[in-house]
A and B are shown apart, each in its own frame.
Chain A
């Protein structure tokens, strides 16, 4: 039983039933919203400072101690900007797109467990819900690209659809490995069954899931949707003011959400010794996010055909093989000796990744025109 449900039962004993039903829901929404927005602000600051360090410069350090108020100043600046809509834009779709990109991120947090029982709602199909909701933002990006009536945005929109659809498959297949081991789709159950974090039990699944989610949140080296050296700003070329701010929040919100899901699925969620669960959970989210920033600071971008080849020729077959291996192990290996599985799976992961890197090249070459 989650904390919110206990609160609702307690309220029910003193308040009328409808009030006892609505009040915990509103409190939960406010808490989740507050959590997401503050984390996003902190992450924006963190990324800027980290990128500064990676790029032998200081990063923002003027506003407040160590520049901690810089994200707030940025937010104010963006909000005060004029909202420009191109003359030939599809006004309604152009208006709706940022909302559709941003809303699913908040919805994802409904099933993210922050601690024992500290979850908005413990859906019994939690992880399926996450997959379903997170793929909604592809629609929003496509709408933004199409409605802007800008050619760069259109290219980005078409790339978005191809990329999101392709990377969804390996991501889902690697989630299935986790689900097989847990025997449940509930996020709470997934965390509680990780006496050994799944990153050790399924290293290959973790790598596939991680790369897939990095591609889904359009981060380097898969940031083709807003590849600034090619298509200017991609799908949000024609956005300014508050709408642009929503895309910006959406980008970081995605990063927070996926970091939380990676932490939940593979790093043991809120579990950990000594410190309270919420602290452990935050540490894990920040660690994943820092790794993503590190990738962004170091790696160049893939080309669009190489991106697709990577999804279909590398990640997808590896994800299928990973699923078979996990299934066989769950079926035949004794549950009392998980360490055998750790050793076996690390060996499998090493061999398979080596094999794939030798056998497959990325992308095609010149097209005859």
Chain B
């Protein structure tokens, strides 16, 4: 009797320990080898884009918190920058600096989670994650000081930020900035000096440079493939042009490089924080903006370099108090389109770490 074999279809998710939320992958397997992957999204769809059309510009800010909930500050920032561009509002100096400080703290927090969970996906049993959480906890405490929230901050406002910082904030931030470089070195060792991590992630899930550009990848995923593109430099917003920082670029485009880039970016964020703290001027934290903002008729696309890539807001105004169209360009959904090309022919375990290395956040993908 001849033994017949056939590929085997496995539904990974929506409830699965390492899909980072409610994400489903319809995986076709030949034994352990991945033949095909079909991502299925939409389990967390809340209709934010439609809901936003019925609310005022200020009321929409809390919605942006709920996109990429691991980086709420930068979501706020992207949205208010787009609205300011639309309405032509000038932001006070102090608010610009506070925004940069918050955005870079948020980048560190988001990358800490990404690196920690990458090691968790590799099977390191929560230990690295808990170390990363220890640092993220300090950042969350800082955020709590300025806006009272630990996850969904709702801190940025059109024209500035909602509150000035309390006086205990800056000393605590200085302490954090002083100790963080040493801790990043420690975490770098988790990645760079562990034989198993290197064997598992080097050369795995390669995203070639041309493909990365063609799918419009952005953020660490794009830079790991060797493209030096960072919106903070390429299309500077806020006051990033006044700061001195490097753009780390990978070479191979594999899972290891994507994480190496994230670790290096944390160092650069600390550098920006070091420069921003002494420069912080006194003054207003929010410009005078009417309660019911009515931007002139027109459309605008505002984008920033969020921790996970290019986060853009496309707003259309019909001169009413609510946006006529509110469209979000989520970085991770677009980066996720490369998943199939990266994992075909690799094993199930590689699929997990490659998916993890895109650093998705389902709140943003499903909106």
Binding site for B on A (CB under 8 A): 51, 54-57, 151-152, 155, 158, 220-221, 223, 227-232, 296-306, 361-363, 365-369
Please indicate the chain A residues that have their CB under 8 angstroms from the CB of B122 in the complex.
229, 300-301
Q: Are A151 and B8 in contact (CB under 8 A)?
A: yes
Q: Are B130 and A300 in contact (CB under 8 A)?
A: no
> Does B126 have its Cβ within 8 Å of any Cβ on chain A?
yes
Q: Are B200 and A302 in contact (CB under 8 A)?
A: yes
A55 to B129, CA, bound (A): 9
Smallest Cβ-Cβ distance to A296: which chain B residue = B125
CB distance from B256 to the nearest CB of A (A): 12
Nearest first, the 3 closest Cβ-Cβ pairs linking A and B are A301-B123, A300-B122, A229-B18
Q: Are A229 and B120 in contact (CB under 8 A)?
A: yes
A299 to B8, CA, bound (A): 30
Contacts A300-B194, A301-B123, A302-B200 given: A230-B348 contact, CB under 8 Å? Answer: yes
Query: Which of A56, A158, A302, A367 is B196 in contact with, Cβ under 8 Å?
Result: A302
Q: Are A369 and B196 in contact (CB under 8 A)?
A: no
A55 to B33, CA, bound (A): 33
How many chain B residues touch A (CB < 8 A): the figure is 38
Q: Are A229 and B345 in contact (CB under 8 A)?
A: no
Interface string of B191-221 (1 = CB under 8 A from A): 0001011011001100000000000000000
CB distance from A159 to the nearest CB of B (A): 8
Q: Are B127 and A54 in contact (CB under 8 A)?
A: yes
A220 to B29, CA, bound (A): 25
Smallest Cβ-Cβ distance to B199: which chain A residue = A362
Smallest Cβ-Cβ distance to A154: which chain B residue = B8
CB distance from B179 to the nearest CB of A (A): 15
Smallest Cβ-Cβ distance to B120: which chain A residue = A229
Q: Are A155 and B345 in contact (CB under 8 A)?
A: no
Please indicate the chain B residues that have their CB under 8 angstroms from the CB of A158 in the complex.
31
A286 to B209, CA, bound (A): 51
A55 to B199, CA, bound (A): 24
Q: Are A369 and B30 in contact (CB under 8 A)?
A: yes
Q: Are B123 and A369 in contact (CB under 8 A)?
A: no
> Does B326 have its Cβ within 8 Å of any Cβ on chain A?
no
Contacts A302-B196, A306-B199 given: A369-B17 contact, CB under 8 Å? Answer: no
CB distance from A287 to the nearest CB of B (A): 21
Please indicate the chain B residues that have their CB under 8 angstroms from the CB of A228 in the complex.
17-18
Residue pairs across A and B with Cβ atoms less than 8 A apart, 22 shown, are: A54-B127, A55-B130, A152-B10, A158-B31, A220-B123, A220-B125, A228-B17, A229-B121, A229-B123, A230-B352, A296-B125, A297-B125, A298-B124, A299-B194, A300-B119, A300-B123, A300-B200, A301-B122, A304-B32, A304-B348, A304-B349, A367-B345
Please indicate the chain B residues that have their CB under 8 angstroms from the CB of A232 in the complex.
16-17
For the A-B complex with A51-B125, A221-B123, A303-B199 known, give 18 more contacts whose Cβ atoms are closer than 8 Å. Answer: A55-B130, A56-B131, A155-B29, A158-B31, A220-B123, A229-B120, A230-B352, A232-B17, A296-B125, A300-B122, A302-B196, A302-B200, A305-B32, A362-B199, A367-B33, A369-B33, A369-B344, A369-B345
A56 to B129, CA, bound (A): 11
CB distance from B34 to the nearest CB of A (A): 8
Please indicate the chain A residues that have their CB under 8 angstroms from the CB of B45 in the complex.
none
Please indicate the chain A residues that have their CB under 8 angstroms from the CB of B10 in the complex.
151-152, 155
Please indicate the chain B residues that have their CB under 8 angstroms from the CB of A296 in the complex.
125
> Does B134 have its Cβ within 8 Å of any Cβ on chain A?
yes
> Which chain B residues (71-93) contact chain A, with CB distance < 8 Å?
none
Please indicate the chain A residues that have their CB under 8 angstroms from the CB of B17 in the complex.
228-229, 232
CB distance from A353 to the nearest CB of B (A): 12
Q: Are A56 and B352 in contact (CB under 8 A)?
A: no
Interface string of B224-238 (1 = CB under 8 A from A): 000000000000000
Q: Are B8 and A227 in contact (CB under 8 A)?
A: no
Contacts A56-B134, A367-B345 given: A299-B124 contact, CB under 8 Å? Answer: yes
> Does B35 have its Cβ within 8 Å of any Cβ on chain A?
yes
Please indicate the chain A residues that have their CB under 8 angstroms from the CB of B104 in the complex.
none
Smallest Cβ-Cβ distance to A231: which chain B residue = B348
Q: Are A300 and B197 in contact (CB under 8 A)?
A: yes
Q: Are A55 and B127 in contact (CB under 8 A)?
A: yes
> Does B94 have its Cβ within 8 Å of any Cβ on chain A?
no
Q: Are B33 and A303 in contact (CB under 8 A)?
A: no
Q: Are B35 and A227 in contact (CB under 8 A)?
A: no
Smallest Cβ-Cβ distance to B28: which chain A residue = A369
Smallest Cβ-Cβ distance to B33: which chain A residue = A367
A361 to B196, CA, bound (A): 11
Contacts A365-B203, A369-B30 given: A301-B347 contact, CB under 8 Å? Answer: no
> Does B350 have its Cβ within 8 Å of any Cβ on chain A?
yes
Please indicate the chain A residues that have their CB under 8 angstroms from the CB of B245 in the complex.
none
> Does B346 have its Cβ within 8 Å of any Cβ on chain A?
yes
Please indicate the chain B residues that have their CB under 8 angstroms from the CB of A51 in the complex.
125
A366 to B341, CA, bound (A): 12
CB distance from A310 to the nearest CB of B (A): 10
Please indicate the chain A residues that have their CB under 8 angstroms from the CB of B344 in the complex.
369
Please indicate the chain B residues that have their CB under 8 angstroms from the CB of A155 in the complex.
10, 29, 32, 348
CB distance from B62 to the nearest CB of A (A): 32
Please indicate the chain B residues that have their CB under 8 angstroms from the CB of A301 in the complex.
122-124, 196, 200, 349
Please indicate the chain A residues that have their CB under 8 angstroms from the CB of B30 in the complex.
369
Q: Are B347 and A304 in contact (CB under 8 A)?
A: yes
Q: Are A55 and B32 in contact (CB under 8 A)?
A: no
CB distance from A300 to the nearest CB of B (A): 4
Please indicate the chain A residues that have their CB under 8 angstroms from the CB of B130 in the complex.
55-57
A54 to B128, CA, bound (A): 10
Among B8, B10, B349: residue with most chain A CB under 10 A: B349
A127 to B329, CA, bound (A): 64
Among A57, A231, A303, A369: residue with most chain B CB under 10 A: A303
